[in-house]
Amino acid sequence: MKLNHRPILLLLLGLTVTSGAATSPCTFTEDWTRCVCDIMGLHNPQSLICMDALELELRDSRLEFSEMAAALDLSYLQSMRINKLILNNVTISFSFIMRLIPFLPHELKEIDIISSALEVGRPVQLPELREASQLTALLLEDVAVDPSLLQPSFQPLHRWLFGSLASLGLVRSGLAEIDCDWAQRVENLTDLDLSENPVSYTGLQNISHCSSLSFKSLKSLHLSGSNLTSLQPLCTPLSLTPALARLDVSRNNFSIIHFPRCLQVKPLRTLNLSHSGITEVHSLLSASLEELDLSYNSLEVFSSPLQTLKKLYLSYNRLIRLPSLDNLPRLKQLKVDSNLLSLLINGTSVNTSKLEQLDVLHAGRNPYRCDCALSETINFLDSTDSVSVEDYPEEFLCASPEAQQGTQIMNLSLESCEKPKPTSETQHHHGRTSSPTAQQGTEIMNSSLGPSVKPTGGTRHHHGSPLCLTLFVGLLSGLICFC
Ligand SMILES: *[C@@H]1O[C@H](CO)[C@@H](O)[C@H](O)[C@H]1NC(C)=O
Ligand SMILES: *[C@@H]1O[C@H](CO)[C@@H](O)[C@H](O)[C@H]1NC(C)=O
Ligand SMILES: *[C@@H]1O[C@H](CO)[C@@H](O)[C@H](O)[C@H]1NC(C)=O
Ligand SMILES: *[C@@H]1O[C@H](CO)[C@@H](O)[C@H](O)[C@H]1NC(C)=O
Ligand SMILES: *[C@@H]1O[C@H](CO)[C@@H](O)[C@H](O)[C@H]1NC(C)=O
Ligand SMILES: *[C@@H]1O[C@H](CO)[C@@H](O)[C@H](O)[C@H]1NC(C)=O
Ligand SMILES: *[C@@H]1O[C@H](CO)[C@@H](O)[C@H](O)[C@H]1NC(C)=O
Ligand SMILES: *[C@@H]1O[C@H](CO)[C@@H](O)[C@H](O)[C@H]1NC(C)=O
């Protein structure tokens, strides 16, 4: 590996670096793309491995620029190969940023500033920034920004910074209002994340008064954790985003959702309403929605006529029965784990062939009731090989009756239950059930009452009648009965 010591040494001469931490070398992350350095770590020649990194993370330090250093030529910095710079837990002075800007590597496309502070300090002369930066993505997360940085006097910096930006995140950064000047600066973004800021409704609505403002290219908007209680107030600002395809309004406080007409007619493809205390959803209509996340809410029922839906996430709700799939012809992924389902398939009210249309199903962590009514559900889970039930069998446990609590439902042998009447879907047998020895529930082996478990199935249980353990050993053997 060829090392070039000069850039780093000169960089260090130019910087006043203070850090409380003991000297430690830079370390690479496991995939060898990112080099993580305590600033003091750069003193160590070993740290020069960073010259080959694609991402450089500087952390736990104070970055300032000394007066003496101001005259130094930093042009060699441009020979570094990094395309992403991460500043984590640092205090950065504005003078440091301004000194550095002209010399950032051409390959640098992304800057993340996390858990840090941007200080202005004493007044500084803005350098001339003729061209816009090459940055395409900027993220400020949990960053205290000196408000004066947003003043008009910093416009040359804004022009430089936002010039070619496609993706901007200002997360948990105390953003309270958005003025026209600033909004105009970011009009060409495709991706905007303003999550976890105390932006008010009026603040959002005001930007629609800015003259000739339009976020024509905006595809993705995140307003997670914004204390929204209704979607209606978003109509005004969203009238400026004709191309919006992805809306994240998770972690708000909606309780009852009335899906406003302005959103029904948008070309939305993904909608995230998770973690928002939702108990009811009304008028959820769209001709384009493909992915809907309603997990971590309090829904007791859900039915939807969203014909275009491909992915539906309803984990961590209070559903007592599976949502009807009759109106969801394109659904491929369904997550209903951690609800209150006692069974999946209930006679004809849930059609097995509808479930068979899915590619992925999550339905574990539900309080399954392990009686004869569950046998159709078990049949389906055991026999399907077109649907990938990713949490089966580990997360599918009996909640009742008490004697079966904690038993994996796969290990139940419901041999005393009546053979289910042949239905159209029993013709779909494939995989394990096509083996004649494994047609659980379709052969009546004996007449003992109550379901049994195989010994490996976790909880052993004892009851009054002679203990009858039925060993069910999958493909290899049939059913062996010890009485
Ligand atoms: C942040 O950096 C300071 C030193 O500047 C250090 O003492 C502190 O532990 C760091 N905090 C975290 C969360 O790493
Ligand atoms: C946005 O893009 C348009 C057309 O490409 C361009 O004329 C305009 O200057 C851009 N706005 C900003 C703030 O860069
Ligand atoms: C949301 O409201 C809660 C309670 O009123 C408050 O503690 C929190 O700071 C607010 N969050 C934001 C981002 O405004
Ligand atoms: C919204 O605009 C009105 C006037 O158009 C102004 O009085 C008000 O302060 C603005 N509110 C916010 C939060 O920007
Ligand atoms: C959610 O909003 C309701 C009123 O609409 C309020 O009573 C409740 O405290 C809010 N919850 C949070 C977590 O902000
Ligand atoms: C929805 O938002 C939550 C929390 O903000 C996040 O964890 C989840 O991954 C998002 N869902 C999708 C489908 O992106
Ligand atoms: C099964 O369906 C019947 C009739 O549709 C209903 O009465 C019963 O409550 C359902 N059981 C469950 C567990 O959903
Ligand atoms: C189940 O769905 C299939 C295909 O949509 C249909 O042919 C069949 O009649 C349905 N069966 C019941 C019992 O609803």
219-255 tens-digit pLDDT: 999 999 999 999 999 999 999 999 999 999 999 999 9
For 12-80, the DSSP string reads HHHEEEE-SSPP---EE-TTSSEEEEEGGGGGSGGGGGGGG-SEEEEEEEEEEE-TGGGG---GGGGG-
Sign of CA dihedral 259, 265, 266, 268: positive
198 lines ligand 3 (CB under 6 A): yes
Strand 34-38 versus strand 55-65 pairing type: parallel
Exposure class string for 447-457: b at 16+ Cβ within 10 A, else e: ebeebbbbeeb
Examine the pLDDT at 437 and tell me if it is beyond 70: no
Beta carbon of 66 within 6 Å of any ligand 2 atom: no
Better pLDDT: 310 or 17: 310
Which atom of ligand 1 approaches the CA of 60 most closely? 2
Ligand 5 atom nearest to CA at 253: 1
Q: Which band of pLDDT confidence, cut at 50, 70 and 90, is reported for residue 49?
A: low
Determine the average pLDDT of the residues in 139-146: 90
Q: What is the pLDDT of residues 322-356, one digit of tens each?
A: 998 888 999 999 999 999 999 998 876 667 888 88
Of 98, 32, 27, 99, nearest in space to 58 by CA? 27
Q: Give mean pLDDT, residues 427-451.
A: 37
For residue 419, the model assigns a pLDDT of 59
Q: Read off the pLDDT of residues 370-422 as tens digits, 9 standing for 90 and up.
A: 998 898 899 899 988 899 999 999 999 999 888 889 989 988 877 777 655 54
Burial 207-240 (b: 16+ CB within 10 A, else e): beebeeeebeebbbbbbbbbebeebebbebbbeb
pLDDT for 72 beyond 60: no
Tokens of 321: 């029965």
Question: Which residue CA neighbors atom 5 of ligand 5 most closely?
Answer: 229
Q: Using a 6 Å cutoff on CB, does residue 196 contact ligand 6? A: no
Query: Does any ligand 2 atom lie closer than 6 A to the CB of residue 164?
Result: no
CA of 332 to the centre of ligand 8 (A): 18
What is the spatial distance between Cα 88 and Cα 113, in angstroms, rounded to a whole number? 6
Residue 445 confidence (pLDDT): 32
- Most confident range (mean pLDDT) of 21-35, 107-121, 200-214 is 107-121
C-beta of 203 in contact with ligand 4 (< 6 A): yes
Mean pLDDT, rounded, of the chain: 77
pLDDT at residue 483 above 80? no
Rounded to the nearest angstrom, the gap between the alpha carbon of residue 25 and the centroid of all alpha carbons in its chain is: 33
Q: Is the CB of 185 under 6 A from ligand 2?
A: yes
Which of 139-153, 187-201, 433-447 is least confident?
433-447
What percent of the chain has pLDDT above 70? 73
Q: Which atom of ligand 3 lies at the shortest distance from residue 197's CA? A: 13
Q: Tell me the whole-structure pTM to 2 decimals.
A: 0.81
Please, what sign has the CA dihedral across residues 385, 389, 391, 394?
A: negative
Calculate mean pLDDT across residues 426-444.
Answer: 37
* pLDDT (mean) for 251-273: 95
Which residue has its alpha carbon closest to ligand 1 atom 1? 60
Return the top range by mean pLDDT from 104-113, 178-187, 252-261. Answer: 252-261
Q: For a substitution probing ligand 4, which of 206, 211, 213 has the most ligand atoms within 8 Å of its CB?
A: 206
Closest C-alpha to ligand 8, atom 4: 353
Return the minimum-mean-pLDDT range out of 38-42, 183-187, 412-416, 474-478: 474-478
Q: Check residue 324 and give its pLDDT.
A: 87
> How far is residue 332's CA from residue 291's CA, in Å, rounded to a whole number?
10
Mutate to test the pocket of ligand 5, among 196, 229, 253, 296 (most ligand atoms within 8 A of CB): 253
Structure tokens of 253?
A: 């406080």
**In this model, does residue 367 exceed pLDDT 90?**
yes
Residue 194 pLDDT exceeds 90:
yes
| Residue 39 pLDDT class (50, 70, 90 cuts) | low
- What is the pLDDT at residue 425? 43
Of 191, 125, 131, 119, residue with least CA distance to 161: 131
Quote the pLDDT of residue 350.
67
- pLDDT cut 90: percent of the chain above it: 42
Write the pLDDT tens digit of every residue in 376-385. Answer: 899 899 988 8
Name every residue whose Cβ is closer than 8 Å to that of residue 402 and which is 6 or more positions away in sequence.
none
Q: How many CB atoms lie within 10 A of CB 27?
A: 16
Structural tokens at position 329: 């012809």
**Which pair of tokens denotes residue 43?**
């003193």
Split at pLDDT 50, 70, 90, the class of 212 is confident
Kindly give, in sequence order, each residue whose CB lies less than 8 Å from that of residue 56, ignoring residues fewer than 6 positions away: 34, 35, 37, 50, 80, 82, 84, 85, 86
> CB atoms < 10 A from the CB of 3, how many?
11
260 has pLDDT over 90: yes
Residue 356 corresponds to which tokens in the numbers above? 């068979």
252: CA distance to ligand 3 center in Å?
10
pLDDT category of residue 430 using cuts at 50, 70 and 90? very low
